[in-house]
C-alpha cells in the first residue's frame, strides 16, 4: 500500500511535466516543448523531491554500451529520426517498412517503432532467433501484459520515449522539464546501453533502468496519458497547456 501511494504521488508530482512523444494523438492536442508547471501551483514546492524519488526508487543503473548498426521497423517520425542518428554516426542501419521481411542474419537491436496495434504482426514476423533483440520503442504506457502473452516479458528491451518529432525529417526535441532536467526517456533490457548511446550521440538524454524502476516509470507515463487525454476530450478538445492552465483542479 505504501509503495502504491508513493507511485501515485510521484505521478501527481512529476508526471504532469512530461513531454509526450511518439503517440498518435488527436489533432485537438498540441504538446508543450518545455514543462513549466502542468500541476496546481500549491504542489510546486514539494514536486521536485517527489519526482526525483520516483526515478531513484530502487534504481540500479545498468552498464552503458556502444552504439551499433540496428534494424529499425517503421519509417515514421520516430523510426526515421533514429535512422538519421545512425547515419550521422556512420552506421548502416536497416529500415524495414510495412510488408518487408525482418532480416534473419542481422545483429544488434531491432527497434520496433510502430503503433501498438501493429505490434502483434511485427512479433509474428520476427525470426525466432532474433526475438530477444526486439526493442519496443515508443509504445506509450504499459505493455507488460501483452509482452507476457507473447512470451517476451523479461527477454525483450523497452524504451519509454520522451522526445517530440514535430514532423517527418525534423530533429527531435528532448523531453527535458523543469522538474527533470536530467531527462525522462528511459530504457531497460539487453539493448538499453545501445539505446542510450545512440540518443546521447544525438544530444538527447536517456536513463538506463532496471526492471522495477522502469515499471514505475511506465505506470507514471500511462496515468499521465490517461488523465490528460480524458481531460482534453471532456472539455471539447483543448491543448495540454490549456488543460494545465485552466483545469488544474480537475
Quote the CA–CA distance of 180 and 51 in Å, as a whole number: 8
User: Is the separation of the CB atoms in 35 and 200 below 8 Å?
Assistant: no
Residue 51 is predicted with a pLDDT of 39
- Domain assignment present for residue 122? The answer is yes
Quote the CA–CA distance of 64 and 209 in Å, as a whole number: 11
- Domain assignment present for residue 43? The answer is no
Distances (CA, A) of 204 to 3, 52, 109: 30, 19, 19
Quote the CA–CA distance of 174 and 18 in Å, as a whole number: 10
Query: What percentage of the chain has pLDDT greater than the value 90?
Result: 59
Provide the angle, in degrees to the nearest 10, between the axes of the packed helices 192-201 and 77-88: 80
Print the domain residue range for 114: 1-22+62-250
pLDDT in tens, 144-171: 999 999 999 999 999 999 998 989 989 9
- Domain assignment present for residue 81? The answer is yes
Residue 14 confidence class, pLDDT cut points 50, 70, 90: very low
Residue 29 is predicted with a pLDDT of 31
- Domain assignment present for residue 208? The answer is yes
**Per-residue pLDDT for 53 more than 50?**
no
- pLDDT, average across residues 121-133: 97
- Domain assignment present for residue 130? The answer is yes
- Domain assignment present for residue 250? The answer is yes
Residue 246 is predicted with a pLDDT of 92
Quote the CA–CA distance of 93 and 29 in Å, as a whole number: 33
Residue with cell 509474428: 124
Quote the CA–CA distance of 195 and 191 in Å, as a whole number: 6
- Domain assignment present for residue 45? The answer is no
Cell of 130: 532474433
Residue 25 confidence class, pLDDT cut points 50, 70, 90: very low
Residue 50 is predicted with a pLDDT of 35
Query: What percentage of the chain has pLDDT greater than the value 70?
Result: 74
- Total structural domains within the chain: 1
CATH of the domain at 153: 3.40.50.720
Residue 202 confidence class, pLDDT cut points 50, 70, 90: very high
- Domain assignment present for residue 1? The answer is yes
Amino acid at each position: 500500500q505504501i509503495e502504491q501511494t508513493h507511485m501515485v504521488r510521484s505521478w501527481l508530482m512529476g508526471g504532469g511535466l512530461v513531454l509526450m512523444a511518439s503517440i498518435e494523438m488527436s489533432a485537438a492536442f498540441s504538446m508543450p516543448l518545455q514543462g513549466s508547471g502542468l500541476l496546481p501551483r500549491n504542489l510546486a514546492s514539494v514536486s521536485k523531491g517527489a519526482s526525483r524519488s520516483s526515478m531513484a526508487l530502487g534504481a540500479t543503473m545498468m552498464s552503458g554500451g556502444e552504439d551499433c548498426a540496428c534494424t529499425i521497423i517503421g519509417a515514421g517520425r520516430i523510426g526515421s529520426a533514429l535512422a538519421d542518428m545512425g547515419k550521422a554516426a556512420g552506421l548502416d542501419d536497416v529500415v524495414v517498412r510495412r510488408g518487408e521481411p525482418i532480416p534473419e542474419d542481422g545483429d544488434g537491436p531491432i527497434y520496433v517503432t510502430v503503433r501498438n496495434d501493429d505490434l502483434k504482426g511485427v512479433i509474428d514476423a520476427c525470426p525466432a532467433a532474433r526475438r530477444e533483440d526486439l526493442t519496443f520503442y515508443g509504445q506509450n504506457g504499459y505493455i507488460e501484459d501483452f509482452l507476457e502473452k507473447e512470451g517476451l516479458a523479461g527477454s525483450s528491451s523497452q524504451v519509454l520515449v520522451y522526445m517530440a518529432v514535430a514532423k517527418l525529417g525534423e530533429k527531435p526535441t528532448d523531453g527535458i522539464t523543469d522538474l527533470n532536467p536530467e531527462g525522462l526517456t528511459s530504457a531497460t533490457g539487453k539493448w538499453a546501453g545501445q539505446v542510450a548511446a545512440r540518443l546521447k550521440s544525438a544530444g538527447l538524454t536517456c536513463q538506463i533502468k532496471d526492471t522495477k524502476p522502469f515499471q514505475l516509470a511506465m505506470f507514471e507515463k500511462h496515468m499521465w496519458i490517461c488523465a490528460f487525454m480524458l481531460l482534453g476530450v471532456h472539455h471539447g478538445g483543448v491543448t495540454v497547456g490549456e488543460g494545465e492552465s485552466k483545469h488544474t483542479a480537475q
